[in-house]
Structure 1
Amino acid sequence: MFSIVIPAKNESAGLSTFLPELRSLYPEAEIIVIDDGSTDNTREVCISNNVNVISHPYSKGNGAAIKTGARAATQDVIVFMDGDGQHNAKDVRQLLAKIDEGHDMVIGARQGLQSQANISRGGANALYNWLATLIVGHKVEDLTSGFRAVRADKFREFLYLLPNGFSYPTTCTMAFFRAGYSVSYIPILANKRLGKSHIRIIRDGVRFLLIIFKIGTLYSPLKVFFPTSLLFFSLASIHYAHTYIDQGRFTNMSALLYITSVLIFAMGLISEQVTSLMYQKK
Structure 2
Amino acid sequence: MKTTLILPAYNEEEALPKTLDEYVGYVDEVIVVNDGSKDRTEIVASEYASKNPKIKYIKHEKNRGKPEAIRTGVKNATGDVLIFTDADCTYPASYIPEAIGYIQKGADMVMGARLFNKHNIRLLNKVGNTIFSMLITYLCYTKIHDAQTGFRVMRKDVFPRLDVQARGLEYETKMTMRAAKMGYNIVEIPIEYRKRVGKSKLHPFKDGYNMLKSIPSIIWDESTALFKSVIIINALLFIIGLAFGIYSIYDKLAHGTLVHQYYPLISVIMLLVAMQLMSFSLMMDFIVNKLNKIDEKLKRI
Smaller-chain TM-score bracket: 0.7 to 0.9
2:179 is matched with 176
Answer yes or no: is the 8 Å Cα contact 1:132–1:216 preserved in 2: no
- CA drift of 1:194 comes to 0.7
2:237 is matched with 230
1:15 is matched with 16
Percent identity reads 30
- 2:103 corresponds to 1:102: no
For the structure 1 residues 116 and 136, does the alpha-carbon distance in structure 2 shift closer, same or farther, using more than 3 Å as the test? farther
SS of 2:39 mapped into structure 1: coil
- 2:126 corresponds to 1:122: yes
Stretches of structure 2 lacking an aligned partner (at least 5 in a row):
50-54, 252-257, 261-273, 279-284, 297-301
- CA drift of 1:89 comes to 1.3
2:200 is matched with 197
- CA drift of 1:101 comes to 1.3
SS of 2:158 mapped into structure 1: helix
| Matched length | 250
SS of 2:144 mapped into structure 1: coil
- 2:34 corresponds to 1:35: yes
2:146 is matched with 142
The one-letter code of the counterpart of 2:243 is A
CA RMSD of aligned residues (A): 3.0
- 2:89 corresponds to 1:85: yes
- CA drift of 1:218 comes to 5.1
- CA drift of 1:176 comes to 1.9
SS of 1:12 mapped into structure 2: coil
In 2: Cα distance, 1:211 partner to 1:102 partner: 29
SS of 1:138 mapped into structure 2: coil
- CA drift of 1:214 comes to 4.9
Under a length normalisation based on structure 2, what TM-score does the superposition of the two structures give? 0.73
In 2: Cα distance, 1:165 partner to 1:155 partner: 18
Under a length normalisation based on structure 1, what TM-score does the superposition of the two structures give? 0.78
Decide which moves more: 177-186 or 53-62.
177-186
| Pairing of 1:201-212 with structure 2 (within 5 A) | 201-212=204-215
For the structure 1 residues 118 and 88, does the alpha-carbon distance in structure 2 shift closer, same or farther, using more than 3 Å as the test? same
Answer yes or no: is the 8 Å Cα contact 1:63–1:168 preserved in 2: yes
- CA drift of 1:211 comes to 4.3
The one-letter code of the counterpart of 1:90 is S
The one-letter code of the counterpart of 1:82 is D
Stretches of structure 1 lacking an aligned partner (at least 5 in a row):
248-260, 266-271
**C-alpha deviations, 1:15-65, integer Å up to 9, x for none?**
111212222x23x51100111100111122122223211111111111111
SS of 1:13 mapped into structure 2: coil
In the alignment, which of 157, 178, 186 is matched to residue 153 of structure 1?
Answer: 157
Answer yes or no: is the 8 Å Cα contact 1:174–1:219 preserved in 2: no
